[in-house]
């Protein structure tokens, strides 16, 4: 990534609230680069520090240590109204004493743009979020979804370099949320503005983002595309937080024949699988591996099986079916199979099965 | 046959039943009305004896003739109202405008407006300070604001006198520090009245302002900061419009009692710098002109009503613009 491609650079940022024994480290030495024009998501459970990081970028709070750069310029201690960064608040925070149009024009007005330009931009923004008909309404006379769109238009109107979105969809019902997800992607593509999106909803993060940063306890654990994050989680927390995962204990055995960065994994059953290793990890050692339920498969008779067990329960989900398998060595394994009309064999509970782990289905976790 | 006869008779029975029921209902309704009047009697009694009754007496007195030693004589006279605005020369009976009264009206209105402005200037930051403290400490600050209410107004006014009189604290300190050579005359000036009233009525401004600020969504302020509004613009465009109801309520609560203030101008303003309250008292006391006093009281009431109508208009206009 070259310097000119980076919109926001966070370097060694720590944020501590309170002092002494009661001090709370909301962020602990966080570093991340957010590229221009990307839809970047901060994903994590509540209290993980994602909103704190967003507030530091917006300028509502200041880092205790470290620095934040916007396109190469240090903005760590710049007041919010001096940053070309706008925020869409979780509560929308629309001004109740102004109309929809006045809300949208507020930022431009505060930048002392000419009246004509303000009027023009407001009209364009109203079109962009499809709110032309409600321009003169008061903000408490429109629905939640409409308020959401006004909040978006208001933050986009001054054409900021970066748009920060603090769980903007959490107050909407399911159907509206789905629509707004698509709407947000469209707006991001149309405006070309860098979006930094905060959410605790993993599905939202996976479907909308170009890249996701998974956070927990004030630290960023992994940054990558939704696919990287989902298929190749590097930490137990990431694997557990996003999607369903089977955790299996295994031994790493050194194996030079597969080249550097790979090793053979020996499972409790004695079965061995070739796998890639996280950076800096060396065999031999004990590890935990993650296997996504849909990455595993039932082994046909005679095929080499990695795991064996008995089907304990079967849960039908419409598009797929979940098989809960009691492993013979102890522990449980969930296997997910897509349902198709010509599903050949029908498994029943109590049947003994063998499970195959194809190459690439196994992800070695760092601790 | 039997069935047919029944069905023909049934409607007639139904009608009488309905009528009887109707009479029953209206009787019940009448009793209900009686009971509801009875239940509201205490409230009506209070309203009559404490509010409209005395006001009616004042209105009647203002149209009667003044007695020689105070009190009234029961004969109609417009003299009371006449003297509110006009004066008749005792030698040649020429009628002229009552300058002395107008001066006092003007001083009352001017000092009350100034008091309101001072209370806004001091009360706004105070209320803001309290509203931005932590939830627990807010109550302590509010408590401190209301403490002066527990002390008698007269005592508080004399306390201010102790501070500003010629041998008082301010002058003593300034003299000792060598800032001034002669004590400054603060007592018996309009400034002294202003100081006293602002001090006395400040809590009445702080409390409604605080109530409005406490309800203020501080995320709106963050949103405005985020949208390139400087601190001053956030104050003007977001905070002031949103706490406006509190600001107006506080202004009314300060302006109205200031207008009729009696103790403060009496003690700190002396006999020379009278306000309306003192003028009214004078007519019922030494002046021995109760009708004039009554007419002046009603004039004060009218000024207050004009101010209130003004306020209601603003509120209605705001409500209308919101619809």
Rg (CA), chain B: 30
Average pLDDT over every residue of B14-22: 56
Q: What is the DSSP letter of B148?
A: G
Q: Report the distance separating Cα A175 and Cα A181, nearest Å.
A: 10
CA distance A235 to chain B (A): 36
pLDDT higher than threshold 80 for residue A260: no
Identity of the highest mean pLDDT range in A225-239, A297-311, B71-85: A225-239
Tens digit of each residue's pLDDT (9 = 90 or more) over A55-108: 999 999 999 999 999 999 999 999 999 999 999 999 999 999 999 999 999 999
CA–CA min distance A94, chain B (Å): 7
Candidates A62, A78, A80: best to mutate against B (most CBs of B within 10 A) is: A80
Predicted confidence band of residue B17 (pLDDT cuts 50, 70, 90): low
Domain boundaries, given as residue ranges, for chain A? 3-236, 244-364
- Residue A117: both structure tokens together: 């330009």
> Chain B partners of A106 at a C-beta cutoff of 8 Å?
224, 227, 229, 237
Rounded to an integer, the average pLDDT of A329-354 is 81
Query: Are B225 and A60 an interchain contact pair (Cβ–Cβ within 8 Å)?
Result: yes
Q: Indicate the Cα dihedral angle B235, B240, B246, B252, nearest 10°.
A: 120
Question: Is B242 in Cβ contact with A111 (below 8 Å)?
Answer: no
Question: Is B220 within 8 Å of A93 when comparing Cβ atoms?
Answer: yes
Query: Are A49 and A24 in contact, with CB atoms under 8 Å apart?
Result: no
- Helix, coil or strand: residue B310: helix
Q: Sorting pLDDT into bands at 50, 70 and 90, what band is B6?
A: very low
Q: Which chain A residue's Cα is nearest to B244? A: A97
pLDDT at B22: 67
For the domain bounded by A244-364, which CATH number is listed? Answer: 2.40.50.140
B317 Cα to chain A: minimum distance (Å): 14
Q: What is the mean pLDDT of chain A?
A: 89
What are the tokens at A24?
Answer: 């709370």
* A111 contacts chain B (CB < 8 A): yes
Question: Nearest Cβ partner of B226 from A87, A96, A138?
Answer: A87
3-state secondary structure chain A: CCHHHEEEEEEEEEEEECCHHHCEEEEEEEEEEEECCCEEEEECCCCCCHHHHHHHHHCCCCCCEEEEEECCEECCCCCHHHCCEEEECCCCCCCCCCEHHHHHHHHHHHCCCCHHHHHHHHHHHHHHCCCHHHCCCEHHHCCHHHHHHHHHHHHHCCCCCEEEEECCCCCCCHHHHHHHHHHHHHHHHHHCCEEEEEECCHHHHHHHCCEEEEEECCEEEEEECHHHHHHCCCCHHHHHHCCCCEEEEEEEECCHHHCCCEEEEEECCCCEEEEECCCCCCCCEEEEEEECCCCCEECCCCCCCCEEEEEEEEEECCCEEEEEEEECCCCEEEEEEECCCCCCCCCCCCCEEEEECCCCCEEECCC
B227 neighbourhood in chain A, CB within 8 Å: 81, 86, 106-107, 110, 154-155, 158
| Contact: A80, B230; criterion CB under 8 Å | no
Q: Which residues of B touch A158 (CB under 8 A)?
A: 227-228
Instruction: Test B227 with A91 for CB contact under 8 angstroms.
Output: no
User: Do A110 and B322 make contact, defined as CB atoms within 8 angstroms?
Assistant: no
* Cβ–Cβ below 8 Å for A95 and B222: no
Residue A1 has pLDDT above 70, yes or no: no
Q: Is the ipTM of this complex over 0.90?
A: no
Work out the minimum CA distance from A84 to partner chain B, whole angstroms.
8
Per-residue confidence (pLDDT) for residue A306, from 0 to 100: 85
CA dihedral B43, B44, B50, B51 (to 10 degrees): 110
Highest mean pLDDT among A282-286, A317-321, A326-330, B230-234: B230-234
Cβ-count burial of B255 within 10 angstroms (0-12 exposed, 13-18 middle, 19+ buried)?
A: buried
Q: Do A81 and B219 touch (CB under 8 A)?
A: no
CA distance A142 to chain B (A): 13
Q: What is the pLDDT of residue B1?
A: 41
Task: Give me the pLDDT at residue B271, please.
Answer: 77
Task: Verify whether the Cβ–Cβ distance B226 to A86 is below 8 Å.
Answer: yes
Question: Does A138 lie at the interface with B, CB-CB under 8 angstroms?
Answer: yes
CB contact under 8 A, A58 and B226: yes
Residue B99 has a pLDDT of: 86
Closest CA in chain B for residue A159: B227
Sequence-distant (≥ 6) Cβ neighbours of residue B318 within 8 angstroms: none
Mean pLDDT of chain B, nearest integer: 87
CB contact under 8 A, A95 and B223: yes
Least reliable range by pLDDT among A6-15, B12-21, B47-56, B185-194: B12-21
- How far apart (Å, rounded) are the C-alpha atoms in residues B58 and A132? 60
A/B interface, count of CB pairs below 8 Å: 60
* Residue A40 to residue A198: CA distance in whole angstroms: 9
Nearest to B226 among A80, A97, A138 (CB): A80
What class has domain A3-236? alpha beta
Question: Could you tell me if A333 and A325 are in contact, meaning their C-beta atoms sit under 8 angstroms apart?
Answer: yes
> Is A87 at the interface with chain B, CB within 8 A?
yes
Domain limits of chain B?
Answer: 2-61, 96-322
Cβ-defined contact of B228 to A158 (cutoff 8 Å): yes
Per-residue pLDDT at A342: 63
Contact B264, B278 (CB under 8 A): no
Nearest chain B Cα to A107, which residue?
A: B227
Confidence label for A257 from pLDDT (cuts 50, 70 and 90): low
Residue A276's pLDDT is what? 81
Residue B12, pLDDT above cutoff 50: no
Structure-token pair, residue A58 = 């917006």
Question: Could you read off the pLDDT of B115-138 as tens digits, one per residue?
Answer: 999 999 999 999 999 999 999 899
Distance of CA B247 to the CA centre of its chain: 14
Three-class DSSP category at B31: helix
**Class of B96-322 in CATH:** mainly alpha
Instruction: Establish if A60 touches chain B: CB-CB under 8 angstroms.
Output: yes
The verdict on a CB contact (< 8 Å) between A107 and B227 is yes
Percent of chain A scored above 70 by pLDDT?
96
CA distance A137 to chain B (A): 9
């Amino acid at each position: 990534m070259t310097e000119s491609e980076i919109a926001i650079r966070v370097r060694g940022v720590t944020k501590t609230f309170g002092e002494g024994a009661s001090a709370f480290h909301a962020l602990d030495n966080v570093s991340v680069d957010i590229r221009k024009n990307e839809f970047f998501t901060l994903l994590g459970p509540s209290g993980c520090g994602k909103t704190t990081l967003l507030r530091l970028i917006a300028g509502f709070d200041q880092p205790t240590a470290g620095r934040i750069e916007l396109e190469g310029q240090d903005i760590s201690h710049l007041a919010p109204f001096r940053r070309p960064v706008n925020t869409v608040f979780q509560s929308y925070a629309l001004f109740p004493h102004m109309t929809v149009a006045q809300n949208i024009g507020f930022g431009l007005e505060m930048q002392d743009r000419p009246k004509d330009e303000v009027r023009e931009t407001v009209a364009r923004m109203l079109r962009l979020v499809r709110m032309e008909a409600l321009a003169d309404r008061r903000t408490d006379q429109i629905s939640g979804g409409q308020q959401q769109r006004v909040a978006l238009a208001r933050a986009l109107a001054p054409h900021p370099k970066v748009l920060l979105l603090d769980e903007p969809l959490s107050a909407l019902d399911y159907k509206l949320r789905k629509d707004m997800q698509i709407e947000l992607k469209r707006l991001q593509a149309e405006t070309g503005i860098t979006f930094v999106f905060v959410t605790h909803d993993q599905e939202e993060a996976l479907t909308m983002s170009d890249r996701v940063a998974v956070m927990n306890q004030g630290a960023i654990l992994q940054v990558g595309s939704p696919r990287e994050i989902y298929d190749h989680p590097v930490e137990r927390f990431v694997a557990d937080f996003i999607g369903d995962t089977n955790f299996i204990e295994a031994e790493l055995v050194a194996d030079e024949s597969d080249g550097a960065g790979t090793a053979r994994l020996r499972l409790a059953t004695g079965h061995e699988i070739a796998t890639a290793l996280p950076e800096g990890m060396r065999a031999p050692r004990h590890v935990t591996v993650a296997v996504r339920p849909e990455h595993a498969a039932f082994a046909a008779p005679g095929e080499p099986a990695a795991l064996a067990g008995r089907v304990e329960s079967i849960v039908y989900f419409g598009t797929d079916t979940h098989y809960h398998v009691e492993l013979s060595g102890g522990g449980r394994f969930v296997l997910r199979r897509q349902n198709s009309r010509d599903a050949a064999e029908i498994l029943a509970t109590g049947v003994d099965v063998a499970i195959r782990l194809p190459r690439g289905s196994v992800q070695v976790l760092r601790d | 046959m039997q069935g047919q006869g029944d069905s023909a008779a049934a409607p007639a029975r139904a009608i009488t039943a309905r009528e009887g029921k109707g009479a029953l209902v209206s009787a019940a309704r009448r009793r209900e009305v009686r009971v509801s009047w009875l239940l509201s009697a205490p409230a009506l009694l209070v309203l009559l004896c404490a509010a409209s009754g005395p006001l009616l007496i004042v209105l009647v007195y203002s149209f009667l003739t003044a007695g020689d030693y105070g009190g009234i004589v029961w004969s109609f006279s417009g003299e009371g109202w006449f003297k509110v605005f006009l004066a008749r020369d005792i030698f040649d009976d020429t009628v002229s405008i009552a300058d002395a009264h107008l001066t006092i009206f003007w001083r009352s209105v001017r000092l009350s407006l100034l008091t309101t402005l001072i209370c806004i200037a001091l009360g706004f930051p105070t209320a803001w300070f309290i509203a931005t403290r932590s939830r627990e400490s807010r109550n302590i600050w509010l408590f401190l604001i209301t403490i002066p209410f527990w002390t008698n107004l007269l005592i508080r006014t004399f306390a201010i006198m102790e501070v500003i009189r010629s041998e008082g604290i301010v002058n003593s300190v300034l003299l000792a520090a060598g800032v001034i050579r002669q004590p400054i005359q603060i007592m018996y000036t309009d400034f002294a009245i202003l100081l006293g009233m602002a001090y006395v009525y400040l809590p009445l401004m702080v409390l409604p302002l605080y109530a409005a600020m406490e309800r203020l969504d501080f995320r709106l302020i963050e949103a405005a900061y985020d949208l390139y509004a400087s601190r001053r613009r956030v104050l003007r465009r977001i905070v002031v419009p949103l706490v406006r109801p509190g600001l107006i309520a506080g202004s009314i609560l300060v302006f109205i009692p200031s207008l009729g203030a009696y103790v403060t101008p009496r003690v700190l303003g002396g006999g020379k710098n009278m306000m309306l309250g003192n003028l009214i008292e004078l007519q019922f006391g030494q002046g021995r002109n109760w009708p004039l006093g009554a007419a002046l009281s009603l004039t004060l009431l009218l000024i207050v009503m004009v101010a209130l109508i003004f306020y209601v208009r603003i509120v209605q206009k705001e409500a209308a613009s919101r619809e």
